[in-house]
A and B are shown apart, each in its own frame.
Chain A
Amino acid sequence: MTRFETMLLQFDERMRSTRISQDGRARIRARLREAAQPRTRSRPRLWFALGAGTLSILLLTHGFRSTSPAAFAAGSSPPGWKCSDSCRVTPSPDGSSRFGAGCKIVVDRIAIGTDVDLHVWEAASLSGRERGISLHAGSVTFDVDPIREPDAPPVEIGVPFGLIEVLGTRFAVRAVSDGGEVVLYKGRIRFRHASGLIESLQPGERLQWTSTSMSSPSSQRPTPAVAATGSMEARTFVDAPTIPPEPSRQPAAETQVEHVPEPRKVKPAPKRIDAKTANASSVRLAQSEHEQLARTLEQVSKLRRRGQYEEALRLLNELDDWISESSPTETESSSRTREVLSFEAGTLHKLAHGNVCAHWQRHLERFPYGSYRHDVELKLASCDDSNVGDRKRKGEP
C-alpha cells in the first residue's frame, strides 16, 4: 500500500495543479450572473398549473357527464343503452321507452352485436329486440357501425309493418302508427315488408310504406341526377319535411351545392324489387351507374376538402365524359346530372383559379333552362361588375 499511497499523492498533486480553463471560468461566471437575475420560471409553471386545473374541471364537468351512466333514468331505458343527461326518458305502457326530442343514444356492442348511435329528432318510442332495436313511433337517425364478422346476421330495426336489415350504414327513419318512411344516407339497407316483400335501398333513396301498402308497396327513388349529387338526398326530399336532414357530417364540398334555387321534386317512380326479381340485370346495371357516380363524387368531395381542386376538376371532367359515353342520347336525367356536374366544376374553378366567368357563360349556354340558371346569372352579373371595375381601374372606356 505504501508505494500506492505515494503514487496516489502524486496523482492527486497532478489533479490539484490542474486549473480551470479561461473559457470555463468565463462560462461559470456568466452562468452565475444569469442565475442571479430574478427568476421568471415560476410564471410558466403557474400557467401550466392553471391550464391543467381548468382542463381537469372541464373534463369532470363535460367529458364524463355526457357519457355517465348515471344520466339515465333508472329502469326506463333498455339495458346497455346510454344517452346524454339532457335526454328525457319515460317508460311507456307497452314496455317501450319514450325518448324526448334531441336525445342522443348509444347502444353498445354487447346489446345487439355492433355499436349503434341514435339521434332522436322527434319524440320516439324505442325498445330493444334481439339483434336490433324497435322503433314504434317517432323520427330517429341511426348510425350503425359496420359488422365485422362475415357470418354475423344484420342488425334489425323493427318498424310498424316492416323490418329494416342493416349492414353498417346511416339512415333516418320516421315511423307513425300506420307506416313511415326511411331515408338512406350511406351504406345499404334492406326493407322487409310485413308481407315478406324485400326492397333494397341505395344511398340517397327514400322509401315510404303504409299499413295498406303491404300488398303494393311504393317507393320513391330519386333520378340519377339526384343520386349523382351524393349527399343531396336529404335536401331533394323536400316533400318529406319530417325527415331530418343528414346531420352535420356533410363535408364542405357537399354544402357548396346547397344553393340550389329550386329544389327539384322527386318524381315518384315506384320500382318494385321483389326478392325473385332483385337480380334482374337491368337493375344491376342502373345500380352500378349510381354507385360509380356516387363513388366519383365522394372522391371529388375528399379532394375538395384537401384543397386539391385541379385533381377534383379532372375527376369531374372524366365523369362528364363517362356520362356522355354511357348515354349518347341526351336524356332528361343525364342532362340534369351534367348540369349539376358543371355547376360543381364552376365552384371548383372559382376555388382553383378565381375567375370563372367564362365557365359560367358556357354553363348558361349549355343549360339555358337548368335549375341553376338563376344562380349562374347572378354569378355572371357579378362577373360583369368586376370586369367594369377592372376596366375603370385600367382607364379603359
Chain B
Amino acid sequence: MTMRHLRLLRAPEMSTSSECETSRSAPPVDRVERAYLDHQEWVFYMAMRYGAADRAWAEDVTQDVFICLLRQYQRGIVIDNVRAWLHRTTTNRCLTRLRRERFLDAPPIRFLLGTRAKQPATPEELGIVEEDLRAVARILAEASPKERACFYLHYIDHLSMREIGEMLGLSKGYVCKLVQAVEARIRQTQAKDGSE
C-alpha cells in the first residue's frame, strides 16, 4: 500500500463544517457545549497521537483547547470553521506543551528544580502487544515534537508540506526536512530488522 493509496483510503477530515453557522447567535457557552459534543473525541485522538498515547496528557490538552475556544467566543471572535480551528489549535497546543516539557526535562533545569527525568510510557504500558506496532510507537516517541507533528499531519491527515508549514509557522523546506528525518529513521529501523 503506497502513500497515494493511503490518501485515497482516508479522505481529508478538514471539510467545512456548518454547525457554527447554525448557532452563531447562541450564547458562547452553548456554542462551546455543542462543539464539545461534536468534536471531543476527535480532539482527544489528535492529542493522543501527539502525546504518544498518553491518555491523561491528552485529556488535559482537550480541556485546554475547549477552554480556549470558549474564550474566543466570549471575546466575540467569529470562527467560521470550528473543526479547522480545533485542528490547528490542538496541534499548536500540543507542540507548545511538548516543547515546554522538553525544556523542563533538560538536565540543567532538572538539576535546578530537583526533579527526575520523565520516562516515556512504554508500549507495554500503553497496551500495545503487537511487535510491529511497538516499533512504530518507539520510532514516533523518539522523534522530536515538530518531527512527530509534521509526520502525522503529512501521513495521517494528508496535508501538503505547504499546508503544514502554514499551520505550524514553518517553511515548506523545513517541514520537508523534518518529515524526511523521520522517514530516514524508519528506513534505518527496517534495515536493521531485515538484517536481523
Q: Which residues of A does B touch, CB under 8 Å? A: 1-12, 14-16, 18-21, 24-25, 27-29, 31-33, 35-36
CA gap between A397 and B169 in the complex, in Å: 96
23 contacts between A and B (CB under 8 A): A1-B3, A1-B186, A1-B187, A2-B2, A5-B2, A5-B6, A11-B128, A11-B136, A11-B137, A12-B49, A15-B48, A20-B58, A20-B62, A21-B55, A24-B56, A24-B62, A28-B36, A32-B70, A33-B29, A35-B70, A35-B71, A36-B29, A36-B70
Of B14-22, B37-45, B85-93, the stretch lying at the interface with chain A is: B37-45
Contact for B45 among A6, A16, A21, CB less than 8 A: A16
Number of residue pairs A-B, CB distance < 8 angstroms: 91
Residue of chain B at shortest CB distance from A36? B29
Q: Are B1 and A28 in contact (CB under 8 A)?
A: no
Residue of chain A at shortest CB distance from B152? A12
Inter-chain contacts of A2 with B (CB < 8 A): 1-2
Known: A10-B133, A15-B53, A28-B62. 11 other contacts (CB 8 A): A1-B3, A1-B186, A4-B136, A8-B155, A10-B136, A11-B140, A15-B48, A18-B44, A20-B58, A32-B32, A36-B32
CB under 8 Å from chain A, chain B span 43-80: 44-45, 48-49, 53, 55-56, 58-59, 62-63, 66-67, 70-71
Contact for B41 among A7, A11, A14, A19, CB less than 8 A: A19
Q: A18-B48, A28-B62 are in contact. Are A8 and B136 (CB under 8 A)?
A: yes
B122: interface (CB < 8 Å): no
Q: What size tier do the contact residues of chain B reach?
A: 35 or more
Min Cβ gap B115→A in Å is 25
Q: Are A32 and B67 in contact (CB under 8 A)?
A: yes
Q: Are B6 and A35 in contact (CB under 8 A)?
A: no
Q: Are B133 and A4 in contact (CB under 8 A)?
A: no
Inter-chain contacts of A33 with B (CB < 8 A): 29
Residue of chain B at shortest CB distance from A15? B48
- Which 5 A-B residue pairs are closest in the complex by CB-CB distance? A24-B59, A36-B29, A28-B63, A11-B136, A7-B132
Residue of chain A at shortest CB distance from B68? A35
Per DSSP, chain A at the interface is helix
Q: Are A11 and B133 in contact (CB under 8 A)?
A: yes
CA gap between A6 and B187 in the complex, in Å: 14
Residue of chain A at shortest CB distance from B66? A32
Inter-chain contacts of B1 with A (CB < 8 A): 2, 5-6
B181: interface (CB < 8 Å): no
Inter-chain contacts of A19 with B (CB < 8 A): 41, 44
Residue of chain A at shortest CB distance from B27? A36
Inter-chain contacts of B45 with A (CB < 8 A): 15-16, 18
Q: Are A28 and B66 in contact (CB under 8 A)?
A: yes
Inter-chain contacts of B135 with A (CB < 8 A): 7
Q: A14-B133, A15-B49, A20-B62 are in contact. Are A25 and B186 (CB under 8 A)?
A: no
Inter-chain contacts of A11 with B (CB < 8 A): 128, 133, 136-137, 140
B170: interface (CB < 8 Å): no
